[in-house]
Amino acid sequence: MMFESVSILAIVGSGIVSMILGYIWYGPLFGKIWSELQGWSADQMKAKQSQSMMKSYGMMFVGSLVLAAVLGMFARTVGALTITDGLMVGFWAWLGFALPLLLSSVLWEGKSWKLYALNAGYNLVQFAIIGAIVTLWG
């Protein structure tokens, strides 16, 4: 099975790094811009932060683990061995999967292109880092 070829340490490490990246990206780096682009007031942000944050973080962590496992399988399938290979696996997966899927937020949900770019940028960095981790630790 393909999952057996991906190190559990790489998957868990990628999940942790992904959560740290999300905290930094949507916190100190772009948190204020992100909440404004979402159209949320300070009161709405506080309300969202108090609503079952642990459940949301837990679900996001599981999603990050799945992403890492699948990117790890992709990396193994294409024979990625170096950090550059891992970054490229992450880039191509981002370009082919994440970027097109994010379009629905603009096309159907009425979100702005700026928000699209902010989220796409996060996913690009996330996919690249995870691709590198699962390639090097795999």
The H-assigned helical ranges of the chain are: 8-24, 31-38, 42-50, 53-78, 83-93, 99-107, 113-137
Domain count, the chain: 1
Q: What single-letter DSSP state applies at residue 3?
A: G
Separation of alpha carbons 66 and 55, rounded Å? 17
Q: What single-letter DSSP state applies at residue 98?
A: I
The predicted model scores a pTM of 0.91
The whole-number pLDDT of residue 115 equals 97
Q: What percent of the chain has pLDDT over 70?
A: 91
- Neighbouring CB atoms inside 10 A of 95's CB total 13
pLDDT in tens, 106-120: 999 999 999 999 999
Q: What percent of the chain has pLDDT over 90?
A: 79
Of 96, 28, 32, 26, the C-alpha closest to 56 is: 26
Q: Residue 15 above 80 pLDDT?
A: yes
- What is the extent of the structural domain holding 24? 2-137
pLDDT in tens, 43-72: 766 666 666 778 889 999 999 999 999 999
The whole-number pLDDT of residue 104 equals 95
